[in-house]
A and B are shown apart, each in its own frame.
Chain A
Amino acid sequence: MKNYINFGSSVSGNYELIEPVRILYNACRNHPDFKVLAIRSKCDTIEVDCCNDQVPSRNSVGIKNRERLALIYNKDNTYPYEVRALRKDFPVTLHQNHVPDGEPASLCIYFEPWTAIERTWTPQLFLQRILWWLKETAGDTLHREDQPLEQLYFKSPIELVLPVDFEEKLQKRNQTFQIYYSTKPKKDLIILRGDFFQQNQRDKHISEEIKFECIAISPSPVLHAPISKFPKTLGELNDQFVERGSEIYNALKEEIKRGISSDGIESPSGNMGTLLILNAKVKRDKDAIPEKKEIKGFFINGKTCANLGEACGVLSKIPDGRYYKVKIIGRNTDLIDSWKEIIIEPIEIVSPLNRQSAQILSKTDEKTSNFKGVLAGVGALGSALADIWSKEAWGQWTYIDDDYLKPHNIVRHIARDKNIGQRKTDTVSAYTSGNFHPGYINSNAIFGKANDFINCKIDSALKSSKLFIDATTTLEVPRDIAVSNFAVRAASVFITPSGKSSVLLLEDKDRTIRLDSLEAQYYRAMINSTWGKNHLSGHQGQIWVGTGCRNASMIIAQDLILLHAATLARQTRFLQSYFDAAIRIYEVVEDNGAMNSYDIPVHEVKNCRIGNWEIVWDEVIYNKIALLRRENLPNETGGLIVGFTDQKQNRIYIVDILEAPIDSESSPTSFIRGINGANVELNKIADKTANVVEYIGEWHSHPRNSSAIPSNYDLSLLKYLSDNLFKEGKPGLIVIAGEDELSICINGRG
Chain B
Amino acid sequence: MAHRILFYPVGNGDTSQIILENGKRILFDFRHIKKTEEEEGPEINLKNRLSNELKDSNRSAFDVVAFTHSDKDHIENSTEFFELLHADKYQDDNRIRIDTLWVPASMILETATTDEQSSEFIIWRQEARFRLKEGKGIRVFSKPDRLKDWLKDNGLTIESRKHLITDAGQIVPDFTLEEDDVEFFCHSPFIKHVDEGEELRNEGALIFNIRFKKGLNKYNYLSIGDSEYSVLEDIVSITKSNNNTDRLAWDLFNIPHHCSYKALSDEKGEEITIPTPLVEELLLSGNDGAYLVSSSNSIKDDEESRQQIQPPHIQARKCYAKYLTKNNGCKLLVTMEESEESDPKPSEFCIDDEGITLAKGSISVAHIITSKPAPRAG
Assess whether B330 is in contact with A56, with CB atoms less than 8 Å apart: no
Assess whether A66 is in contact with B328, with CB atoms less than 8 Å apart: yes
Q: How many residues of B contact A (CB 8 A)?
A: 23
CB neighbours (8 Å) of A52 from chain B are 330
Assess whether A57 is in contact with B216, with CB atoms less than 8 Å apart: no
Q: How far is the CB of B262 from chain A (nearest CB, A)?
A: 27
In the bound assembly, the distance between CA atoms of A52 and B360 in angstroms comes to 12
Q: A53, A54, A60, A282 — which one has the most chain B CB atoms within 10 A of its CB?
A: A53
Q: A60, A291, A292 — which one has the most chain B CB atoms within 10 A of its CB?
A: A60
CB neighbours (8 Å) of A33 from chain B are 331
- Is A609's CB within 8 Å of the partner chain B? no
Q: How far is the CB of B105 from chain A (nearest CB, A)?
A: 35
Assess whether A284 is in contact with B289, with CB atoms less than 8 Å apart: no
9 nearest A-B residue pairs (beta carbon): A57-B355, A56-B354, A56-B355, A58-B355, A57-B289, A53-B358, A65-B330, A59-B354, A57-B356
Main secondary structure of the interface of A (DSSP, over half): loop
- Is B141's CB within 8 Å of the partner chain A? no
Q: Which of A57, A291, A292 contacts B357 (CB 8 A)?
A: A57
- Is B291's CB within 8 Å of the partner chain A? yes
- Is B63's CB within 8 Å of the partner chain A? no
- Is B329's CB within 8 Å of the partner chain A? yes
- Is B73's CB within 8 Å of the partner chain A? no
Q: How far is the CB of A356 from chain B (nearest CB, A)?
A: 15
- Is A51's CB within 8 Å of the partner chain B? yes
Q: Which of A57, A59, A138, A292 contacts B330 (CB 8 A)?
A: A57
CB neighbours (8 Å) of A54 from chain B are 357-358, 360
Q: Which of B325, B328, B329, B356 contacts A56 (CB 8 A)?
A: B356
- How many pairs of residues, A versus B, come closer than 8 Å at their CB atoms? 63
Q: How far is the CB of A134 from chain B (nearest CB, A)?
A: 12
Q: How far is the CB of B27 from chain A (nearest CB, A)?
A: 24
CB neighbours (8 Å) of A59 from chain B are 354-355
CB neighbours (8 Å) of B215 from chain A are 291-292
In the bound assembly, the distance between CA atoms of A718 and B155 in angstroms comes to 85
Assess whether A66 is in contact with B289, with CB atoms less than 8 Å apart: yes
A54-92 residues with Cβ-Cβ distance < 8 A to B are 54-60, 64-66
> Residue-by-residue, is B287-313 near A (CB-CB < 8 Å gives 1, otherwise 0)?
111110000000000000000000000
In the bound assembly, the distance between CA atoms of A291 and B217 in angstroms comes to 12
- Interface size classification for chain A: 20 to 34
In the bound assembly, the distance between CA atoms of A59 and B215 in angstroms comes to 11
- Is B226's CB within 8 Å of the partner chain A? no
In the complex with contacts A66-B328, A66-B330, A57-B290 CB distance below 8 A: yes
A27-52 residues with Cβ-Cβ distance < 8 A to B are 33, 49, 51-52
Assess whether B217 is in contact with A58, with CB atoms less than 8 Å apart: yes
Q: How far is the CB of A4 from chain B (nearest CB, A)?
A: 11
Q: How far is the CB of A60 from chain B (nearest CB, A)?
A: 6
When C-beta atoms are compared, the residue in chain A nearest to B354 turns out to be A56
In the bound assembly, the distance between CA atoms of A56 and B358 in angstroms comes to 8
In the bound assembly, the distance between CA atoms of A55 and B290 in angstroms comes to 12
- Is A603's CB within 8 Å of the partner chain B? no
Q: How far is the CB of B98 from chain A (nearest CB, A)?
A: 31
CB neighbours (8 Å) of A253 from chain B are none
Q: How far is the CB of A607 from chain B (nearest CB, A)?
A: 35
Assess whether B354 is in contact with A138, with CB atoms less than 8 Å apart: yes
When C-beta atoms are compared, the residue in chain B nearest to A59 turns out to be B354
- Is B352's CB within 8 Å of the partner chain A? yes
In the complex with contacts A51-B330, A52-B330, A282-B216, A60-B354 CB distance below 8 A: yes
In the bound assembly, the distance between CA atoms of A53 and B359 in angstroms comes to 8
B221-263 residues with Cβ-Cβ distance < 8 A to A are 251
Q: How far is the CB of B3 from chain A (nearest CB, A)?
A: 13
Q: How far is the CB of B365 from chain A (nearest CB, A)?
A: 9
- Is A139's CB within 8 Å of the partner chain B? yes
- Can you offer 10 A-B residue contacts whose CB atoms are under 8 A? A33-B331, A55-B289, A56-B354, A56-B356, A57-B357, A58-B355, A64-B289, A65-B330, A138-B354, A282-B216
- Is A224's CB within 8 Å of the partner chain B? yes
B193-219 residues with Cβ-Cβ distance < 8 A to A are 215-217, 219
Q: How far is the CB of A12 from chain B (nearest CB, A)?
A: 21
Assess whether B328 is in contact with A64, with CB atoms less than 8 Å apart: yes
In the bound assembly, the distance between CA atoms of A57 and B358 in angstroms comes to 10
When C-beta atoms are compared, the residue in chain B nearest to A128 turns out to be B362
In the bound assembly, the distance between CA atoms of A55 and B329 in angstroms comes to 12
When C-beta atoms are compared, the residue in chain B nearest to A138 turns out to be B354
When C-beta atoms are compared, the residue in chain B nearest to A139 turns out to be B354
When C-beta atoms are compared, the residue in chain A nearest to B325 turns out to be A49
Assess whether B216 is in contact with A292, with CB atoms less than 8 Å apart: yes
CB neighbours (8 Å) of B355 from chain A are 55-59, 65
CB neighbours (8 Å) of A291 from chain B are 215-216
In the bound assembly, the distance between CA atoms of A224 and B215 in angstroms comes to 11
CB neighbours (8 Å) of B333 from chain A are 53
In the bound assembly, the distance between CA atoms of A284 and B353 in angstroms comes to 13
Assess whether B216 is in contact with A53, with CB atoms less than 8 Å apart: no
Assess whether B357 is in contact with A56, with CB atoms less than 8 Å apart: yes
> Residue-by-residue, is B276-291 near A (CB-CB < 8 Å gives 1, otherwise 0)?
0000000000011111
Q: How far is the CB of A630 from chain B (nearest CB, A)?
A: 40
When C-beta atoms are compared, the residue in chain A nearest to B288 turns out to be A64
Assess whether A284 is in contact with B216, with CB atoms less than 8 Å apart: yes
In the bound assembly, the distance between CA atoms of A145 and B171 in angstroms comes to 44
> Residue-by-residue, is B352-378 near A (CB-CB < 8 Å gives 1, otherwise 0)?
101111101000000000000000000
Assess whether A53 is in contact with B357, with CB atoms less than 8 Å apart: yes
Assess whether B331 is in contact with A51, with CB atoms less than 8 Å apart: yes
In the complex with contacts A64-B289, A65-B289, A66-B289, A53-B352 CB distance below 8 A: no
In the bound assembly, the distance between CA atoms of A525 and B365 in angstroms comes to 48
> Residue-by-residue, is A271-295 near B (CB-CB < 8 Å gives 1, otherwise 0)?
0000000000010100000011000
> Residue-by-residue, is A131-148 near B (CB-CB < 8 Å gives 1, otherwise 0)?
000000011000000000
When C-beta atoms are compared, the residue in chain B nearest to A3 turns out to be B328
In the bound assembly, the distance between CA atoms of A56 and B219 in angstroms comes to 12
Q: Which of B217, B291, B325, B328 contacts A53 (CB 8 A)?
A: B291
CB neighbours (8 Å) of A66 from chain B are 289, 328-330
> Residue-by-residue, is B69-102 near A (CB-CB < 8 Å gives 1, otherwise 0)?
0000000000000000000000000000000000
In the bound assembly, the distance between CA atoms of A749 and B158 in angstroms comes to 81
